[in-house]
Structure 1
Amino acid sequence: MAKDMSSVFKKISEVMDLVDSKKKNELIVSAKTTIKQDDINLHLPVDDLDYDKAVVTKNTEDSNYIVAIPYKVKGKVKETSAATLVFDENQDFLRYQELIVEEQDSDSVFYTYYIDNKETATGSTPISEGEVSAQGWLGCMNTCLANQGLSNWAIGVFAALCGAACGTIILCAACIEGPLLVYSVQIMNCLEDCGPNS
């Protein structure tokens, strides 16, 4: 799993560039408009999207823009829950994803992952901070991301989704432009701190 996540984290840093604030604001407006026009069907309330924390990146491989909008953490909804919209270089809407992570009980979270409203993965992961390896490269990434506010169990959700998805090119590409992008800045910082072969 560490090898898979290493590939996913590195791929995000290789192909994603943050956009300037003008382009970011334009694309957030495009995302809001697309959501309001019912071009997408989200499973959590639209009012719970936190546009102030949205991250907008450009994929340097295909020139698509990706708008990752986290959901507000409230009730059973946990961090990492997000909607992600993909636009082409002309800012025309292409596709979307949604990751919902909810508290299952005091010991675990349940996640559901949708691509274009089709459920592609579900599962649960323990909340226990000790469940993720603390050694080697992935341990360094876990520690670094945790220091930037991302829980170790969240890394477990990403590992379950993206580690498995990256067995196939199509799902791996979707995962790279999907749920992790809300944390792309933190991932890039941590990749720098942990080094490629630490």
Structure 2
Amino acid sequence: MAKDMNSVFKKIAEVIEQVESKRKKELIETAKATIQQDKVNLHLPSDDLNYDKAVVTKNMEDSNYIVAIPYKVQGKVKETSAATIVFDEDRDFLRYQELVVEQGADPDSVIYRYYVDNEEKASGTKTTSEPEVSTENWLGCMNSCLANQGLSNWAIGLFAALCAAACGTIILCTACIEGPLLVYSVQITNCLKDCGPNS
């Protein structure tokens, strides 16, 4: 799995570019309007989306814009819950994804449901008390770095499982690159610098 997540992280850093502030605001407003026009069928209330923490990126391979919006962490809703909405370079709506992560029956588990264009691609329960990954290898460095920036080990494992569900195997594909992991694209890029071969 380390090799696969290594590829995912590197691909995101290679093909995703943060957009400038004015364009970011415009695309967030376009995403809001798209949701309000019922083009996107969310499974959590749209009022619970945290637009203030939205991340807007451009995929340099296809020139699409991706607006990744986390849900507010409240009640049963856990971190990593997010919606991503994809627009073409003319800002026309293309597709969307949603990850719903909620507290499980016991405090050491979460229940997740992952949708691409309202079709459930994966669901299940994940333990949040998995042992720490060794910090001696690359993924261990990434885990430690991302954990310091608010992304836990179980979340990284969940993202790996979701990439597998979206793509058939854990290989790079558009669904994975456009997925809820993009909420953490700034942190991933920073951690790649810290954990990369030149660090």
User: Scaled by the length of structure 2, what TM-score is found?
Assistant: 0.93
The answer to whether 1:138 aligns with 2:147 is no
Equivalents in 2 of 1:141, 1:119: separation in Å?
A: 29
CA contact (8 A) 1:13 1:187 kept: yes
- Secondary structure of 1:184's counterpart equals helix
Alpha-carbon offset, residue 151 of structure 1: 1.6
CA contact (8 A) 2:114 2:120 kept: yes
CA deviations over 1:107-136 (Å, ceiling 9, x no partner): 111111100000001122211152545441
The answer to whether 1:188 aligns with 2:194 is no
Equivalents in 1 of 2:165, 2:196: separation in Å?
A: 23
Alpha-carbon offset, residue 168 of structure 1: 4.9
Equivalents in 1 of 2:87, 2:176: separation in Å?
A: 16
> Quick one: structure 1 residues 163 and 120, their matched pair in 2 at CA, closer, same or farther if it must change by over 3 Å?
closer
Runs of 4+ residues deviating >6 angstroms = none
Match of 1:8 in 2: 8
Equivalents in 2 of 1:106, 1:79: separation in Å?
A: 14
Which moved further from structure 2: 114-123 or 188-197?
188-197
Alpha-carbon offset, residue 153 of structure 1: 1.5
Match of 1:49 in 2: 49
CA contact (8 A) 1:165 1:171 kept: no
Match of 1:101 in 2: 101
Match of 1:179 in 2: 180
When the two chains are superposed, the root-mean-square deviation of aligned CA atoms in Å is 1.9
- Identity over aligned pairs, percent: 77
User: Scaled by the length of structure 1, what TM-score is found?
Assistant: 0.94
Match of 1:82 in 2: 82
Equivalents in 2 of 1:197, 1:162: separation in Å?
A: 27
Equivalents in 2 of 1:43, 1:79: separation in Å?
A: 16
> Quick one: structure 1 residues 116 and 30, their matched pair in 2 at CA, closer, same or farther if it must change by over 3 Å?
same
Equivalents in 1 of 2:125, 2:84: separation in Å?
A: 21
